[in-house]
Amino acid sequence: MQVKVLGAERRRRWSQDEKARLIEETLQPGETVCGVARRHGLAQSLLFTWRRQARQGRLGGEALPALVPVEIASAAAPAATTGAPQPPSLPPVQRARVGLIEIELGGCRVRVDRDVDPEALQRVLELLRRR
């Protein structure tokens, strides 16, 4: 059997600095992984892999923070106290899932939307932190 070498390897080698720079670029406000990948001529899946590895601390260097600071503001007074009529609310099943937040903590994943009770969410997160 005869093996022919047709040319140099076509796979590009990315340095750790280049990977970090591209990952940081995807995290900029208004930026998308697709846009960054297209501009630099690489597959979206590769960028997603690098981002996951960076979150897990496996890309080299320090792990990216998995959580960001959150401030919970006190709820405004309900409209019923002002005497203004409230529009009827839709049952939760029919409402669109807007503002969905996914939180990973200690190997557990919690998904909440804008209707989550802040005190209940705080209790759940405290319990997960203790695990």
Q: How far is CA 87 from CA 79, 80, 97, in A?
A: 10, 11, 19
Domain that holds residue 38: 16-55
What backbone phi and psi angles, to 5 degrees, belong to 123? -65, -45
40 lies in some domain:
yes
85 lies in some domain:
no
Higher pLDDT residue, 19 or 89?
19
Q: How far is CA 22 from CA 43, 50, 63, 116, in A?
A: 12, 9, 15, 34
30 lies in some domain:
yes
Model pTM above 0.85: no
23 lies in some domain:
yes
What is the domain count for the chain? 2
103 lies in some domain:
yes
Q: What is the largest CA-CA distance in the chain?
A: 89
Percent of the chain with pLDDT over 70: 65
Residue 95 and residue 113 in contact, taking contact as beta carbons nearer than 8 Å: no
What backbone phi and psi angles, to 5 degrees, belong to 46? -65, -40
34: tokens are 């697709």
Ranking 5-14, 71-80, 100-109, 117-126 by mean pLDDT, the lowest is: 71-80
1 lies in some domain:
no
Q: In this predicted model, what pLDDT tens digit does every residue of 49-108 receive, in sequence order?
A: 998 888 888 877 655 555 566 677 766 555 545 555 555 555 555 455 567 788 877 677
64 lies in some domain:
no
104 lies in some domain:
yes
